[in-house]
């Protein structure tokens, strides 16, 4: 029998244990502390000299930091904890604070329910018919005795939420079958829109958990097919083609009013939202999408509206789970995603009364502000009478003067267009923007760390005419003083130019507002790309990536009724799939076609969301100088839109300049995120340089799937491209062939 230890020995062992590695707070608390300090994961990774993915792993509990980073990380967390003490665990945060609360002077936007709708979600009984069981609730992290910190608000609820066992949305057919994500089928007994809303809120189990702890759960989305719309008495098409809504005296609208349901200011259009004021802090709101009224724009969703309801539920459900349940157009969804990830308000404790009140959320856009006169469209109220010029930070559209083409270029057989993957999304990463209103400064000293709008004369700078001028969207030399964003002037300094602003509108409160938006959309884009079998690793073989892209496009464009044509096309690509059955091949075509729809919607969400930051007035009755509803949003920020577009344009020019310096190759034309080069072959790999080890040269164009990398836009004979240039046309607009037009961005 072992000797019994003495008390001193036990105390020594305990002291040794206590002197071991310091214990970190739980992963959820680490994320809370970082966000409370207004620091992004990317910035924290930079400080600790690690990767952003590693920081993500620390905050979701997948891994733990090791020395020496562990001690530095703990020191940082303890410093943040001292600056941002938590609410006492005995004081529950009211449910009404989980979403933005407009101030009394701020009217609710036209597409939002009234401000008495406190966010919450209804608990739902077991649905009538389901192919999957509800997921068990996730166990909360257990508090450790060593930390003894007060309880903090928990982060976003995981996707598998017991309150919403049937996913974020359903596609409803005319026979009452509701198709959900994952093959779930529900029986919907409703025969009126009012009954449908009641069923969705009380029985369906449809919805999605909030993306941020201070946000609100997503309203359940019900997509109505043509037969379902007819079942509820909706017309085949909207007669009001301008207002795109049912008349107030339509029977369906009157039925809703009689049942005490309300519509937002949009009315009953392709994307109506139906709600009642919140009861006991419980949100009551359902979003509908009416397919026969063109709710799904073909420019973003392709032919998704023509899919079988089960397939459409999968396409929309995958998008919803990776991005956000659609709230309207992809532009509206892109803007809503910004707010969902950075809610404008959070609960704070009033030190004088001890009550919980609504306060600004650090790092978010908390209230509407009027931008500076040069930042707004000319019809904006603050621009009336303004004669000082306007900001013109737009995507580049430029064609090189044909007289500057060399003989060597003209003799090359090919012109190849390369497209920058989600260029605006890449530009949004780690972009510092202003969070507060502008402050006018005369004769300021330029500082590239301060977001703002600066008046500078860059017309005297001589640059190579074989490259587009980076300071204007036309690619032509500026003609005098102009207004520029910080990103453009920082690049001018990078080129060796002396920047002397005459005046500026600067913002004192700053932050990387778009970082969570960028991270979620980037993850969605890459995850969906990987689903298609396309390599997404940054170090993936460029040739393998290009081959996979060709194969994906071949499948996505195939006709399921002519699989023999597909087999012939695959044979030409050395991908015969001779051993694949007709059913398996058809399933592969369906998978790629639906994946292409999701990818298209994600890219449209990026561009549309950025464009929505500068939404213009609509309606024939508008007069210059009048305010329009979008101006009452905290997210009406044309200065942020300009900063993103300017950074994207600068990023592309930097790569073009680096390529020219290394190889002597200059672009033929540029259109937004597409640039055309003369090439000895039809692939980007035929003209892009490689390093000594066969790897891409840093700072030039890189072929790959990641945002900011490039892929093939198209290839044409060089003689055809030169002919277009001599006629004054932009070959980047037609490089795909035929009458194809490259997307010009916002």
Are 74 and 331 within 8 A, CB to CB?
Answer: no
- Name the nearest CA neighbour of 101 among 309, 339, 322: 339
Segments in the chain below pLDDT 50: 1-2, 18, 87-159, 742-746
Residue listed under structure tokens 């997921």: 135
Distance between CA 674 and CA 714 in Å, rounded?
Answer: 10
User: For position 12, what pLDDT does the model report?
Assistant: 65
Instruction: State the DSSP code for 591.
Output: H
> 260 CB contacts (<8 Å, ≥6 apart)?
276
> What 3-state DSSP class applies to 398?
strand
Q: Helix 542-556 crosses helix 582-612 at what angle (to 10 degrees)?
A: 100
- Tokens 């590695």 found at: 21
pLDDT of the residue at 564? 78
Q: Which of 477, 518, 475 is nearest to 497 (CA)?
A: 477
CA atoms within 13 A on the CB side of 535: 14
Q: Domains for the chain: give ranges and CATH numbers.
A: 15-83 (1.10.260), 95-133+152-360 (no CATH), 368-614+629-746 (no CATH)
Query: What digits encode the pLDDT tens for the residues 108-152?
Result: 333 444 333 333 333 333 333 443 333 333 333 333 323 333 334
DSSP tag of 208: B
- How many Cβ atoms are within 10 Å of 725's Cβ, its own excluded? 20
Give pLDDT, residue 125. Answer: 36
Cβ burial, residue 361 (10 Å; 0-12/13-18/19+): buried
Distance between CA 238 and CA 338 in Å, rounded?
31
Structure token digits, residue 687: 């003209």
Relative orientation angle of helices 582-612 and 638-663, to the nearest 10 degrees: 120
Q: Are 25 and 149 in contact (CB under 8 A)?
A: yes
What pLDDT, on the 0 to 100 scale, is given for residue 55?
86
Task: Tell the residue number behind the tokens 């029998």, with chain if given.
Answer: 1
Neighbouring C-beta atoms of residue 509, cutoff 10 Å: 14
Residues 6+ apart with CB under 8 A from 565: 558, 559
**CA nearest to 636, candidates 618, 613, 653, 652:** 613
44-56 residue pLDDT tens:
888 888 888 888 8
Closest among 438, 453, 440, 444 to 486, alpha carbons compared: 453
Question: DSSP string of 678-730?
Answer: EESSSSGGGTS-B-TTSPBPTTS--BSSSTT-EEEEEEEEHHHHHHHHHTT--
pLDDT value at residue 133: 34
């Amino acid at each position: 029998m072992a000797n019994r230890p003495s008390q001193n020995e036990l105390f020594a062992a305990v002291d040794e244990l206590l002197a071991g590695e310091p214990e970190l707070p739980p992963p959820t608390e680490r994320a809370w502390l970082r966000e409370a300090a207004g620091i992004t994961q990317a910035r924290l990774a930079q400080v600790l000299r690690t990767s952003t993915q590693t920081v993500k792993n620390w905050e979701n509990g997948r891994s733990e930091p090791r020395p020496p980073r562990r001690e530095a990380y703990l020191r940082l967390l303890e410093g943040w904890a001292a600056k941002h003490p938590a609410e006492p665990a005995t004081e529950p945060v009211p449910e009404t604070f989980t979403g933005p609360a407009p101030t009394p002077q701020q009217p609710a936007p036209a597409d939002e329910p009234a401000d008495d709708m406190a966010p919450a979600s209804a608990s739902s009984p077991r649905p009538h018919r389901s192919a999957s069981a509800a997921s068990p609730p996730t166990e909360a992290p257990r508090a450790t005795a060593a930390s003894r910190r007060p309880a903090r608000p928990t982060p976003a609820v995981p996707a598998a939420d017991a309150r919403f066992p049937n996913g974020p949305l359903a596609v409803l057919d005319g026979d009452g079958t509701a198709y959900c994500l994952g093959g779930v089928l529900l029986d919907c007994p409703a025969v009126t829109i009012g009954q449908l809303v009641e069923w969705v809120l009380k029985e369906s189990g449809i919805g999605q958990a909030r993306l941020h702890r201070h946000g609100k759960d997503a309203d359940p989305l019900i997509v109505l097919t043509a037969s379902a719309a007819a079942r509820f008495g909706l017309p085949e098409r909207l007669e009001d083609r301008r207002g795109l809504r049912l008349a107030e005296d339509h029977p369906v609208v009157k039925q809703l009013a009689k049942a005490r349901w309300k519509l937002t200011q949009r009315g009953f259009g392709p994307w109506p939202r139906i709600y009642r004021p919140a009861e006991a802090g419980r949100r009551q709101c359902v979003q509908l999408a009416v397919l026969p009224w063109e709710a799904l724009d073909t420019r973003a969703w392709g032919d998704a509206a023509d899919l079988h309801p089960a397939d459409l539920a999968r396409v929309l459900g995958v998008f919803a789970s990776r991005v956000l349940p659609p709230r309207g157009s992809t532009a509206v969804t892109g803007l809503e995603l910004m707010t969902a990830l950075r809610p404008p308000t959070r609960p704070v404790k009033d030190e004088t009364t001890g009550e919980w009140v609504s306060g600004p959320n650090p790092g978010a856009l908390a209230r509407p502000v009027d931008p500076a006169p040069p930042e707004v469209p000319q019809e904006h109220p603050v621009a009336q009478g303004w004669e000082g010029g306007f900001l013109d930070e737009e995507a580049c559209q430029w064609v090189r003067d044909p007289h500057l083409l060399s003989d060597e270029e003209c003799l090359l057989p090919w012109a190849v267009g390369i497209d920058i993957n989600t260029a605006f999304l890449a530009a949004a990463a780690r972009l510092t923007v202003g969070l507060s209103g502008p402050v006018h400064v005369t004769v300021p000293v330029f500082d590239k760390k301060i977001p703002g709008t600066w008046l500078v004369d860059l017309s005297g700078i001589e640059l190579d005419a074989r490259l587009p001028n980076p300071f204007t969207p036309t690619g032509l030399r500026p003609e005098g003083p102009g207004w520029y964003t910080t990103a453009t002037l920082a690049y001018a300094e990078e080129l060796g130019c002396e920047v002397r602003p005459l005046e500026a509108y600067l913002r004192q409160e700053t932050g990387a507002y778009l970082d969570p938006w960028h991270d979620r959309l980037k993850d969605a884009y890459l995850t969906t790309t990987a689903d298609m079998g396309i390599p997404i690793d940054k170090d993936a073989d460029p040739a393998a990536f290009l081959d996979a892209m060709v194969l994906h496009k071949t499948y996505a464009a195939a006709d399921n009724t002519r699989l023999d044509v597909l087999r012939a096309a695959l044979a030409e690509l050395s991908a015969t799939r001779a051993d694949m059955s007709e059913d398996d091949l058809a399933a592969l075509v369906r998978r790629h076609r639906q994946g292409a729809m999701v990818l298209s919607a994600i890219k449209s969400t990026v561009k549309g969301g950025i464009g929505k930051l500068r939404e213009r007035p609509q309606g024939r009755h508008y007069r210059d100088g009048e305010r329009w509803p979008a101006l009452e949003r905290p997210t009406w920020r044309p200065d942020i839109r300009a900063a993103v577009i300017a950074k994207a344009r600068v990023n592309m020019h930097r790569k073009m300049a680096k390529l020219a310096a290394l190889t002597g190759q200059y672009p033929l034309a540029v259109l937004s995120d597409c640039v055309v080069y003369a090439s000895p072959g039809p692939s980007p790999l035929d003209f892009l340089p490689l390093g000594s080890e066969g790897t891409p040269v840093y700072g030039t164009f890189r072929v790959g799937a990641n945002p900011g990398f490039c892929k093939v836009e198209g290839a044409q004979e060089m003689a055809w491209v030169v002919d277009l240039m001599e006629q004054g046309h932009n070959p980047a607009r037609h490089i795909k062939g035929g009458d194809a037009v490259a997307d010009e961005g916002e």
